[in-house]
Structure 1
Amino acid sequence: MPVRAIEFYSGIGGLHLALRRSRVACSLVKAFDWDQTACQVYAANYDAKLIIRRDISTLSAVDLLYLHADVWLLSPPCQPYTILNTAARGEADPRAKSFLHLINHVLPDLTAQDLQPRYILIENVASFQDSMTRRHLVDSLQRLGYVVAEFLLTPIQFGIPNSRLRYYLLAKLSPLRFSGLQESHFDRVHETIPGTASDIPAHSLHEYLDPAHEDEIPIRHKIHDRVLSKWGRLFDIVLPSSQRTCCFTRGYTQLVERAGSILQANEDLDTTEVFDRFLEAQSRGAEDAVRILDQLHLRYFTPSELLKIFRFEEPESNQEFLWPPNISLKSQYRLIGNSVNVEVVRRLIDYLFDGDEFTT
């Protein structure tokens, strides 16, 4: 029989998709999220009966008992721990409440009835590693009988041109063990998955771009003159031949710094040289100085391109991720930026179950 999984903070279903693509004989039986838009997108791409819009802090062990879940997949809110949030307060942040509720109350209550999940996967921002919540989480899981393995991984290690460093925690209920890890290694945060190649050369962005000529790119993906004039030099600019991009966040297209890379479609020109000419013209007060940048063909990555980078869509596959017609472009970028890299999580799920009876 396949194992049964619950997805918490399901977003647009990245954890679900990673599980589906893994080698594990496992079925997802329920998904929970409070974001109404995310739930609409989830329902459009997966079985709509799976998703429940609910405040996770209101869940109890009684609510989960009937699901008989062997696996918990969680991607709790990262805002309490992100370095981009100058007011980040860790577990004191109200947005951390629901996750702490699951760890402090729901999981112990299930354990007391011998109905706890045997496998757990948690994803968060890299800076979660330095939080008090992480230490509390690890201590709590070990006290409840779990063996814990922690990782800091980025998609670029697996050939995907995106440097999105993330923290991952895997937990197995004792006496299950992790292959390739000795007990003395459990207090370390690992930068590779044992037995998994993590030095794969990154593919170029060419493989992830929409098959369209520059003049076919909708105006909504081009960068406003005002933004280019004032902040253009702060963008991380990449070429179609590049083998990396910066981490894309929920603020992509709304923020300039540390929100994600932009694409220079014209590879025939030197970016620095063109920007130097632009800045020189701008310093002379030339009203049309920004037109100098037109020749670079700068634009934002489209949602479909980001879905390929996040591996919701496989570059070599014709399977298309669906957006309900009422989902705005801003919401699409926000939901993608809040999500996980499906391929990285798939590899972790395979490792979580490695050596156990449920892999195919």
Structure 2
Amino acid sequence: MAATASPLRVLELYSGVGGMHYALKESGVAAEVVAAVDVNTTANQIYRHNFPATPLWSKTIEGVTLDEFDMLECDVVLMSPPCQPFTRIGLQGDVSDNRAKSFLYILDLLPRLNKLPRFILLENVRGFETSSARDVLLTTLRDCGYGFQEFLLSPTSLGIPNSRLRYFLLAKSPPTSFSFPTSSEILERFPESSGPSQPCEVGSDGVTDTPSTENSRDGSVLFKMETAHELQRKRRQDGDETVMKIQDFLEVPEEEMERYLLPPKTLLRYAMLLDIVQPSSRRSVCFTKGYGHYVEGTGSVLQSCLDSELQDVFQSLDLQTEDEKLRRLTGLKLRYFTPREIANLMGFPDHFTFPDVVSVKQRYRVLGNSLNVHVVAQLIRLLVS
């Protein structure tokens, strides 16, 4: 009788709240996380709460020595380095940003390991693919004898109504062992053999989903500062029956509804900038770490009361008195998605929970820094198969 293969030894770098760990479990691959590393105290608190048996190293990546990496003898490295140096709406400091140093440290150590990991999966924001850090990464992988494939993927390609376009890289040794034909191009869909997938639509990262003040072709701007082109795109997304509805991810108790309603001050100041969705919608924009604190570009809000049409509420809203504006907007019962609902959209399982001591603001923040579990789970299957 053939011996059963030992589980793969996995190192989870920048472990956050455990998105990679949950993706690994969902993938069905026989594996064990032998160490997780992160310096964020809140994220580590949540990680320990959900994975008490996993060794969690609360330190910087640079604080892990070459000997410690060698000691782990890991087969797989999963990592999601800080995205701030590469995000298109940030300063784009790239390799000169201090937050990129830990990633460059990993790339420096990789060729010096006694045992190279067989598999590497990296996640980052769209924009990483044009960075100098990516150039260093690819050069290092080639020098170490890895084959690799790059992707730009959003959860919408798996039928999930949330845009979160992200860069992914799968690296494997030996380089010819991928189960699908690799390409030097960055793929924008899963390989056909991996299951249903759709190409990512322009704007699916949530950036161009943000309401704009640009004029449409005929020079008119519709309600809520949306151009005709933007409105048409959103209607097309809502009509895509291959994507689930938002209502499948909602679960706020009625008694907790009030705490998530947008306050009057926010409604009056930011109404024209909100991305509003309904339970029947099949779209929502990317939730960021500023959700619930900042408004513009941080995520969609939900229209809880459907008695009024959005078009009617926003018609000539800027011409109304402050009291009339507030009356109209309050009637929509616009609310934030709860942290649990965002976790649902991001693929975290029901048994993922937060310690009671972690505030709502902290929950939004760590989720905004995390990843979509379902997308990564499918990529892990591709990587290891």
Shared fold, TM over 0.5:
yes
Matching residue of 1:336: 367
1:257 maps to what in 2?
296
Q: Secondary structure of 1:263's match? A: strand
**Structure 2 CA distance, aligned partners of 1:289 and 1:245?**
25
Match of 1:43 among 42, 45, 48: 48
Out of 320, 333, 343, which is 1:281 matched to? 320
Q: Which moved more, 1:117-126 or 1:268-277?
A: 268-277
1:192 maps to a residue whose letter is R
Q: Which residue of 2 aligns with 1:198?
A: 197
Give the length in aligned residue pairs.
Answer: 336
Counterpart for residue 129 of structure 1: 129
Instruction: Choose which of 67, 76, 85 in structure 2 pairs with 1:62.
Output: 67
Q: Partner letter of residue 47 of structure 1?
A: P
- Contact 2:88–2:126 under 8 Å retained in 1: no
2:320 is paired with a residue of what secondary structure?
helix
The percentage of aligned residue pairs carrying the same residue is 40
Q: Aligned partners of 2:263 and 2:135: how far apart in 1?
A: 44
- Match for 1:290 among 326, 330, 353? 326
**Is the partner of 1:217 in helix, strand or coil?**
helix
Q: Distance in 1 between matches of 2:76 and 2:357?
A: 33
- Matched residue, 2:224: none
Out of 98, 101, 107, the residue aligned to residue 97 of structure 1 is: 101
TM-score normalised by structure 2 residue count:
0.84
For residues 205-244 of structure 1, the C-alpha deviation after alignment (integer angstroms, 9 at most, x for no partner) is 111001534xx33433111211110111101100000001
| Cα shift readout 1:121-179 (whole Å, capped 9, x = no counterpart) | 00000111111111111111111110010000000000110110000000001255212
Q: Is the 1:278–1:290 Cα contact (8 Å) retained in structure 2? A: no
SS of structure 1 residue aligned to 2:162: coil
Would you say 1:16 and 2:21 are equivalent positions? Answer: yes
Aligned partners of 1:227, 1:17: CA distance in 2, in Å?
35
Question: In the aligned structure 2, how far is the partner of 1:335 from the partner of 1:108?
Answer: 32
**Match 2:380 to one of 322, 341, 349:** 349
- Helix, strand or coil for the counterpart of 2:46? helix
Q: Distance in 1 between matches of 2:265 and 2:347?
A: 32
> C-alpha distance in 2, partners of 1:203/1:269?
24
Consecutive unaligned residues of structure 2, counting only runs of 5 or more, are: 1-5, 199-240
Runs of 4+ in 1 over 4 A off after TM superposition: none
Q: 2:88 and 2:344 mapped to 1: Cα distance?
A: 26
Q: Does 1:139 align with 2:139?
A: yes
Unaligned runs of 5+ in 1: 314-318, 355-360
1:48 and 1:2 map into 2 onto residues whose CA distance is 16
Matches within 5 A, 1:201-240: 201-210=242-251, 212-213=253-254, 216-240=255-279
Normalising by structure 1, what TM-score?
Answer: 0.90
Letter in 1 for 2:301: I
RMSD: 1.5
